[in-house]
Amino acid sequence: MSKNVFKTLLLSTAISIATSSAVAQADQVLDYKIALAEDGKTYQVFMRPEVAPLADINLTGQVTIKVPHLEGENGFKAINIKSSIDGISWVETSRIDAPEEAPFYDYLSFSFIASDSKALRSFNWKAGEEKFMFSFENAKGCIGDVSLMANDDPFNVENNSAHTNPGNQFTNLGWGGVSENNYRSNYGDKIICPNN
């Protein structure tokens, strides 16, 4: 084997290993944030990746918020859900009120639906760049104690009392396999309503 062929083979192997390692280490790379818009009533959900995906194909996503449990008509009701990405709709897909693990809170989960396969490639993720995903309001106005479910939330456990999977989740093929969760953690400040 000539020196040039050996060097090329060695370089190709090194690049392959480096690329594989980068992908393997990039499995959990996406952070979520919830904030209140300037109008004082609209909640906004943002996401920020640590790295850009190698192939930007978004398969599934779930965002779970935690709100105070209030009885009857005073309970939190998400309305005016609006996506910021063409071809993507975010919808409320699950709601668990006052589970045994956290009886003073309700949990609302939102998932995205794509209009077609082209929309699954339309997120245009960039490393370190925050992206506005969707917004919603509460029918009764701003409530300050609204947050994203944390990884260590008492309700975010297997075999919880509601037998659901409420955790935050996102899968993009450019960050790993189809069964991997690329969501990592939450960031941002506590929500403070204008009248608080």
Backbone φ and ψ of 120, nearest 5°: -65, -15
pLDDT in tens, 167-180: 999 999 999 999 99
Largest CA distance in the chain: 79
User: Which neighbouring-strand residues pair with 52?
Assistant: none
Q: Report phi then psi at 159, rounded to 5.
A: 55, 45
What would the pLDDT profile of 10-32 be if each residue is shown by its tens digit? 333 333 333 333 344 458 999 99
Q: Please check whether residue 79 is in contact with residue 187, taking contact to mean a CB–CB distance below 8 angstroms.
A: no
CA-to-CA distance for 37 and 147, rounded, in angstroms? 14
CATH topology of domain 26-186: Immunoglobulin-like (2.60.40)
Name the 3-class secondary structure at 149.
coil
CB 173 within 8 A of CB 57: yes
d(CA 154, CA 175) in angstroms, rounded, equals 28
Higher pLDDT, 146 or 1: 146
Q: Which helix (H) or strand (E) holds 25?
A: helix 3-25
Average pLDDT score over residue span 65-90: 96
- 69-87 as b/e: b if 16+ CB within 10 A: beeeeebbebeeeebebeb
Q: How confident is the model at residue 8 (pLDDT cuts 50, 70, 90)?
A: very low
Tell me the sheet residues that pair with 60: 171
Q: Nearest 5°: phi and psi at 106?
A: -115, 150
The Cα angle at residue 147 between residues 144 and 153, in degrees rounded to 5: 135
Write down the pLDDT at residue 72.
Answer: 86
Per-residue pLDDT at 133: 98
**pLDDT above 80 (res 3):** no
Q: Are 63 and 168 in contact (CB under 8 A)?
A: yes
